[in-house]
Amino acid sequence: MMRGRRGRSGSSALLADGQALSGAMLRQLFLGQCLVLALHLAWMPAWLAAIALLTAGYRTLQLRGRLGRAGVFVRLAGIAALSGGLWLHYGTLGQMEAMIGLLLGVYLLKLLETHTRRDGRVVVAIGFVATTVAFLHDQGIPMAAGGLLALAWLVHSLVWLSGGDGRRAWRESAWLLALSAPLMVLLFVTFPRLGPLWNLPQADRASTGLADEIAPGDIAQLSRSDARAFRVRFEGAEPAPAERYWRVYTLSDFDGERWRRATPERLAALLGQPEAEFVGEGRRSPWLGDTPARFEAELLLEPDSRPWRPSLGAPLTTDDSARFLADGTLEGTAPLVSRSLLRMTSTGLAPANADPAGAAWHARLPAEGNPRTRELAERLWREAGGEPGAFLAAIMAHFGQAPYRYTLSPPRLTSANRVDEFLFDSQAGYCTHYASAMAVLARSVEIPARIVAGFLGGERHPDGHFTVRDYDAHAWVEVWLDGAWQRLDPTAAIAPERIEEGAQAVIDGGEAFLADAPFSPLRMREVGWINRLRLDWERMEYRWQRGVIGYQREARRALMARLAARLHAIWDRLVELAPGRGLLGGLLGLAVAGSALVGLAALLRLGWRHHREGQDEARSIRRLQAWLARRGMGPRPGESPSAHLRRLAASAGPAGPALSDCAHQLERLRYAPLGPAERRQRRRQLARRLVEVRRRLRRRAEGGARTPGVAS
């Protein structure tokens, strides 16, 4: 039945029976599926594309008569294969990615049983849902552009399914999208953002690459990645390169090989103290009192399944409730399931408050291990005369001597005494090697010390914001000295260029830098025009994320306040410029109120007229006949309304079917015994046809076609 029209791409999307779909329409639906699938493929299994191709191939063979319609067995087999593949890929069907894959698979397999216009509309409806779901993966500019393209194609498919040809469907689709754009912008600007809309359960995602525990060499692996950790813009003073120490968390538990983070819950259990001694929740740190803020920043954070938030030194305040830990760590109250804005103030320095865990906890070492390191600490302590400041300076000077070197490709440490192996054998390492060695040396002489993991530096963009990436990950030491925690970074002694210029400035082992990102545009940063394009794109993407995706309640209220202030300023200016200000203001107010009343009355009158016409089909037809008469297509003497419309339909071109249907609906409503429900349905159908008649006849007149029904 469908073979005769499969090769005519410009033909009508519907076959003669008005229900079955042609090959052209099926191709339209398949291409729409491909567009929607393309939005997901960067995050979903690539074999979903094979399902799309197999389904399209089956339908092609069916159209050519080589295969019959897909029966229940074929469709159930497809669903079973899809579910099994997703289960094997994810290990479960309960997580978000698996559920999205199931939605996409059902969307693709639906083409197997799509034979009528109703089936086609179902496919398009699922496509709208799948397009919306794509924004759970990403909300950047490419995703927005791809989503708009898929949306336009789906709207075109829906209009095409309602009748007519593809070219006319494109015009109507463009008109619909253009009409909806102002409403979309208005709703975006004025309607409150529904935060939980995108906060669906997601698989654990970590943006920074930092882990709860580190060993010497771990952070060196992050120099291989250009993944973005966060972006930041400062209000007021910006930190100098040597001040851009972004604290993420501290590590105070050392077992001889690895440093681990001690959470408030763990410290409370180990030390027998209340958990409230180690953490406070709110918008201001309870540990630093009235300490003045040096920096005020707005951070655009990447999604992260872990709770911590970076801060430039010790955090002071945030714009939303957070967990302030006594060790200077800042945590959110929930994981970040999408990019989020965080406004905060900070000191830029190490925390000044004492840690409730106590000095003994921060000076604790295993009973045995690293004997040569302990011996070195004792010798340096004696040479410093037992003075902590001189002792720490001696450690820094010791690291600054040959043959110690800083490298992005440190040798692997394999012995049980890894600090000894680094200090006395390999003598080459990354920031964690030197930070770990310095903390152990300090603890060996009972000086409280801890490692801080975070980021150092960040790329400054021409518009003033900074981008911090994985390769900016860094580790340094904080020691308790003179009644406060003091930051000490042994990297500054061994590789000062790392502090000033970033990881890319380290020459030794430089081949490891961005080794996991072979196509990163950062590799071409020395090529001027490529680097400018990269910076322009990142600036545009940052503004999109901050201004569009980050448009939350505070931004909406601020925008509404600015608009209201601008309108008040314009009004005040008009009143000031005109004579008789009080009188003019009153007259303008009366004019505005009168115009509003007149407009409201006109709307009520129009609504009442439409209501009456909806209840009286004869009145609607008379109005249509009058409209036709003004265009030279009036009724002949003694001609009934139905005969008049049918006569015009024969030469009305695209408006002909609508005119015939108007005559048919009028006769059924006037003479057929109809129930209330069917009568309401036919009146709605008549109203739609009346609108269609006027629209199509206007277009025909604008196209210069010969007006039908004019007496010769």
Q: Which residues are catalytic?
A: 431, 474, 489
User: How many other C-beta atoms can be found within 10 angstroms of the C-beta atom of residue 185?
Assistant: 10
CB neighbour class for 409 (10 Å; exposed up to 12, middle 13-18, buried from 19): middle
Q: DSSP labels for 428-483?
A: EE-HHHHHHHHHHHHHHTT--EEEEEEEE--EEPTTS-EEEEGGGEEEEEEEEETT
Residue with tokens 């309960």: 94
The rounded distance, in Å, linking the Cα atoms of 195 and 554 is: 13
220 neighbors 432 (Cβ within 8 angstroms)? yes
Whole-number Cα distances in Å, 139 to 147, 548, 673: 10, 10, 55
Q: What is the 3-state secondary structure (H, E, C) of 282-320?
A: EEECCCCCCCCCCEEEEEEECCECCCEECEECCEEEEEE
Helices (H), 548-580: 553-577
Nearest-5° Cα angle at 467, 464 to 473 = 140
Rounded Cα distance, 356 and 364, in Å: 15
Q: If you search the block for the tokens 């439409």, which residue do you land on?
A: 610
Per DSSP, the three-state class of 561 is helix
CB 166, CB 160: distance < 8 Å = yes
Q: Which CA distances in Å does 28 have to 67, 134, 168, 313, 525?
A: 21, 20, 15, 56, 43
CB 431 within 8 A of CB 472: no
**Tokens at 463, concatenated:** 């518009």
In angstroms, the Cα distances linking 259 to 212, 440, 451, 484, 508 are 9, 11, 8, 22, 25
Q: Could you give the dihedral angle defined by the CA atoms of residues 525, 530, 535 and 537, in that order, rounded to the nearest 10 degrees? A: -140
The label of the residue with tokens 């990436």 reads: 469
Question: DSSP assignment of 4-66, as one string?
Answer: GGTT-TTS-SB-TTSSBBPHHHHHHHHHHHHHHHHHHTTTS-TTHHHHHHHHHHHHHHHHTTS
Q: Prior bond to 403 cis, omega within 30?
A: yes
Beta strands in 508-652 (DSSP E): none
